[in-house]
C-alpha cells in the first residue's frame, strides 16, 4: 500500500501523514479549508525540521525534511483520494461526522482492494463499516500522540472486517511504518483508552472536589508512580474535548459511573479551555 490518504491535518492527522511520508510512501492529506491545509503543512514542516536538527530523521534514501515533504500534498477536496490504497480518517471525534465521511469515502475511493481506516479513539468501528458497501475493508487503526514518537498502534477489526484486511493493516503498520501493533476488540475505548480515560477522569474529580491542586496531583503521579507526566497534564495534551468525547462514548456503551465525564470537564470544554491546542486547560501554555 504505497498511496496513502489522510483526512484531517490536526495533531493526529499530520503525524500519520508524516510517518507515512518518512516511510517513503506517497501521501495526500485532505483538510476542510485552505487555512486548515496551510496549518497542517506548517505543522509537518516544524516537526520534520525538529527531527532533522536532532539527527532523528530516518527513512529511505537519506531523507531530509524537504524530501519527506515532497512526498506530501495537502488538498481540500475529498475526490483526490480516489486512487488511494489506504485512507485513514483522523477528523473530530464525532460519530455523526465520521459516519457521514465513511459514506462519502465508499463512493469516492475506487480501488476494490482499498482499506478504509479510522483513527477514532472510541467510536465502534462497526458503526462506520455498515454505512459502506465494503464493511469487510473497514478497520480501526488507532495511533497515539505524538505519532512520530510513540510506537503503539491499536488494530481494531469489527465483526465484519475480513482477516485479510486485518493482516494487510498489520503489515502496513509494522512493516512500512515500523510501529508496534496490538489487537483490540471493537469495544468503545479499545485497550488503552478504556484503561486511561477513567484514570484521567478520577484525577479531574479529585481536583474538582478540592482534594488537591492540579500541580500536586500530577507531581504525585510523576514522583510517586514514575509516570512521565501527570494525568491532568496528559489530558491537556490529548485535548479536553477529545477526553470528554471518549468518556461519553465509553459511558454510552458501558453505562458505568467511572466513565461519566465530571462537570468540571464539561464546563471547561464549553468554555473552550481545551488544553495545549488552545493555550489553556488545567495549565496555561505559551502558544
The pLDDT of residue 78 is 97
Give the pLDDT confidence of 228-281 residue by residue, as tens digits: 999 999 999 999 999 999 999 999 999 999 999 999 999 999 999 999 999 999
115 beta partners: 86
Give the pLDDT confidence of 112-122 residue by residue, as tens digits: 999 999 999 88
Asked about 193 being catalytic, the answer comes back as yes
What does the block give as the cell for 269? 470544554
Asked about 63 being catalytic, the answer comes back as no
For the residues 152-176, what does the mean pLDDT come to?
98
Mean pLDDT of the chain: 95
Q: What is the percent of the chain with per-residue pLDDT over 90, rounded to a whole number?
A: 90
Vertex 55, ends 52 and 57: CA angle to 5°? Answer: 55
The pLDDT of residue 60 is 61
Among residues 63, 142, 169, 248, the one annotated as catalytic is 142
Give the pLDDT confidence of 29-72 residue by residue, as tens digits: 999 999 999 999 999 999 999 989 888 786 664 578 999 999 99
The pLDDT of residue 144 is 94
3-183 and 193-278 in the same fold:
no
Provide the CATH number for the domain formed by 193-278 in this structure: 1.10.1040.10
pTM of the model: 0.89
Give the pLDDT confidence of 190-213 residue by residue, as tens digits: 999 999 999 999 999 999 999 999
- Domain-by-domain residue ranges, the chain? 3-183, 193-278
The pLDDT of residue 145 is 87
Closest CA to 106 of 75, 130, 141: 130
The pLDDT of residue 205 is 98
Q: How close are the terminal C-alpha atoms of the chain, in Å?
A: 37
The superfamily (CATH) of domain 3-183 is NAD(P)-binding Rossmann-like Domain (3.40.50.720)
Among residues 154, 158, 248, 249, the one annotated as catalytic is 154
Exposure class string for 136-158: b at 16+ Cβ within 10 A, else e: bbbbbbbbbeebbeeeebbbbbb
d(CA 156, CA 199) in angstroms, rounded, equals: 22
Amino acid at each position: 500500500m504505497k498511496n496513502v490518504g489522510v483526512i484531517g491535518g490536526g495533531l493526529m492527522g499530520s503525524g500519520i501523514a508524516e510517518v507515512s511520508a518518512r516511510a517513503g510512501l506517497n501521501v495526500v492529506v485532505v483538510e476542510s479549508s485552505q487555512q486548515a491545509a496551510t496549518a497542517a503543512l506548517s505543522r509537518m514542516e516544524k516537526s520534520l525540521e525538529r527531527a532533522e536538527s536532532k539527527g532523528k530523521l530516518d527513512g529511505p534514501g537519506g531523507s531530509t525534511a524537504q524530501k519527506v515533504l515532497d512526498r506530501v500534498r495537502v488538498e481540500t477536496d475529498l475526490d483526490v483520494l480516489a486512487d488511494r490504497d489506504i485512507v485513514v480518517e483522523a477528523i473530530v471525534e464525532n460519530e455523526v461526522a465520521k459516519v457521514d465521511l465513511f459514506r462519502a469515502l465508499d463512493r469516492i475511493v475506487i480501488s476494490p482492494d482499498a482499506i478504509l481506516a479510522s483513527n477514532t479513539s472510541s467510536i465502534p468501528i462497526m458503526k462506520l463499516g455498515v454505512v459502506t458497501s465494503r464493511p469487510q475493508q473497514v478497520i480501526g487503526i488507532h495511533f497515539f500522540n505524538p505519532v512520530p514518537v510513540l510506537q503503539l498502534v491499536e488494530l481494531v477489526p469489527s465483526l465484519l472486517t475480513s482477516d485479510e484486511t486485518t493482516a494487510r493493516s498489520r503489515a502496513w503498520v509494522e512493516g512500512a511504518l515500523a510501529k508496534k501493533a496490538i489487537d483490540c476488540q471493537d469495544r468503545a475505548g479499545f485497550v488503552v483508552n478504556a484503561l486511561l480515560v477513567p484514570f484521567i477522569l478520577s484525577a479531574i474529580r479529585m481536583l474538582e472536589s478540592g482534594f488537591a491542586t492540579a500541580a500536586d496531583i500530577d507531581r504525585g503521579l510523576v514522583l510517586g508512580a514514575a509516570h512521565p507526566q501527570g494525568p491532568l497534564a496528559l489530558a491537556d495534551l490529548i485535548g479536553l474535548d477529545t477526553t470528554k468525547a471518549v468518556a461519553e462514548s465509553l459511558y454510552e456503551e458501558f453505562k458505568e459511573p467511572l466513565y461519566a465525564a465530571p462537570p468540571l470537564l464539561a464546563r471547561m470544554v464549553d468554555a473552550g479551555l481545551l488544553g495545549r491546542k488552545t493555550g489553556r486547560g488545567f495549565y496555561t501554555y505559551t502558544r
